[in-house]
Chains A and B, each alone.
Chain A
């Protein structure tokens, strides 16, 4: 018995040692599968135009993409938001009224709504209502909230900056649908997230572009599937068959009757 337990412990150690390699990248970026479909904390936030609201208030209206930054950031925050803005425009065009929000929250307790407003202005987003910049109303809740997303931040005295990863989290009905990591948000990845947060189940994604005669087209903006020309092709054989069958029977029958008539005429003449 003792031996068995020892073996199990030994095996456990080996398993843990193996995990050590992946541990590094995990601490840098959250592993999506650990957080996916978990609920997030419904915190109160103060937006850049000084409104007090809660995240549930937002997700009850529309799903949103959430990202965490701090306004004094000299690192990835600004390029992250820029690339997010670029990709969103690429995917949804320049429409003002999107059916999702983009929520940018500051994890820095020193940030004020005014700081966030200035940050929003710097990015040429001050006119955009779908972009919500804000801070946490209750500073005590920041740590718990960010932990639940797999997000971390450390103050580094030497540079006077926070060290933190770049993440974009898709939230639907208060649940984490997707987590994108890294300083740059690519169009391909973001398209999937936007598909996901719309709430409708997405049965498939188009990975390949430029395909001839698609059966179905998935529209990431409306979340609807449209019947493509390919589906019509599926009905062509049946349609043509009706056509051919009727043609055969109508013509063949007519010719036959004519022949019969001429034959009977011949017989009568004889």
Chain B
């Protein structure tokens, strides 16, 4: 699991349990009501500290997560570019733009595109029909990142693959009755091997 998501899950479990605990405590307190006394005010005193803590937590969340937004910024150079076109019900990947349905069909059935490991790969993702979600998973079902494939637009997704192997793009936006079967494959090879192949080709 990506570290940030592991932290997110841990934070969620912590707060969910805390909330259950707080509710259990407050509900059990109604079993022995303090007759005649008004505890509302004494609890209400905690409101200001609670507000401040919550605010600080949220601000901390913003400060920690906003620098990690996945949108590519100006002047960020990838090491290689892969073009992706989604269409019911396949993703086609290529090193050249896929503009026509014939090209999409040809590429969707072709051998997977190869990219080097440990390098920034830019995916230029679009769709030839409806909205799709281009989500890259490794062989263990771990999600590396995603972007929407939207007709008429090209979304640019930057991904670094740490390990060589086959990675699968699943569709993450409902696109019809075979939505769950839609995919595309990319092969990640060692950088050394990749270089060797280039030399070999030249």
Say whether A associates with B: yes
Chain B residues, CB < 8 A from A32: 81, 95-96
How many A residues have CB within 8 A of the partner chain?
28
Determine the distance from Cα of A23 to Cα of B77 in the docked complex, in whole angstroms. 26
Q: How many B residues touch the partner, as a band? A: 20 to 34
Which 5 residue pairs of A and B lie closest in terms of their CB atoms, listed nearest first? A208-B152, A33-B80, A204-B153, A33-B95, A37-B77
Chain A residues, CB < 8 A from B80: 33-34, 36
Question: Does A201 sit within 8 A of B, measured CB to CB?
Answer: yes
Question: Does A205 sit within 8 A of B, measured CB to CB?
Answer: yes
Give the distance to chain A from B168, nearest Cβ to Cβ, in Å: 20
Q: Which residues of A contact B (CB under 8 A)?
A: 15-16, 18-19, 22-23, 26-27, 31-34, 36-37, 175, 188-189, 192, 199-201, 203-208, 211
Chain A residues, CB < 8 A from B45: none
Chain B residues, CB < 8 A from A211: 152
Contact A204 B154 (CB under 8 A): yes
Question: Does B118 sit within 8 A of A, measured CB to CB?
Answer: no
Q: Give 9 A-B pairs besides A19-B201, A204-B153, A204-B154 with Cβ atoms closer than 8 angstroms.
A: A27-B201, A27-B202, A31-B95, A31-B201, A32-B81, A203-B156, A205-B154, A207-B151, A207-B153
Give the distance to chain A from B166, nearest Cβ to Cβ, in Å: 13
List the A residue with the shortest CB-CB distance to B120: A37
Quick check: which of B25-33, B59-67, B68-76 contacts chain A, the rest being far away?
B68-76
Determine the distance from Cα of A203 to Cα of B150 in the docked complex, in whole angstroms. 13
Determine the distance from Cα of A137 to Cα of B155 in the docked complex, in whole angstroms. 41
Task: List 5 interface pairs A-B (beta carbons < 8 Å), by A numbering.
Answer: A33-B115, A36-B78, A37-B78, A205-B154, A208-B152
Main secondary structure of the interface of B (DSSP, over half): loop
Per-position binary interface string of chain B over residues 74-113, scored 1 when its CB falls under 8 Å from any chain A CB and 0 otherwise: 1111111110000000000001110100000000000100
Chain B residues, CB < 8 A from A18: 111
Determine the distance from Cα of A264 to Cα of B147 in the docked complex, in whole angstroms. 65
Chain B residues, CB < 8 A from A23: 200-201
Question: Does B52 sit within 8 A of A, measured CB to CB?
Answer: no
Given contacts A31-B95, A33-B82, A201-B72, contact A175 B197 (CB under 8 A): no
Contact B75 A204 (CB under 8 A): no
Chain B residues, CB < 8 A from A34: 80, 198
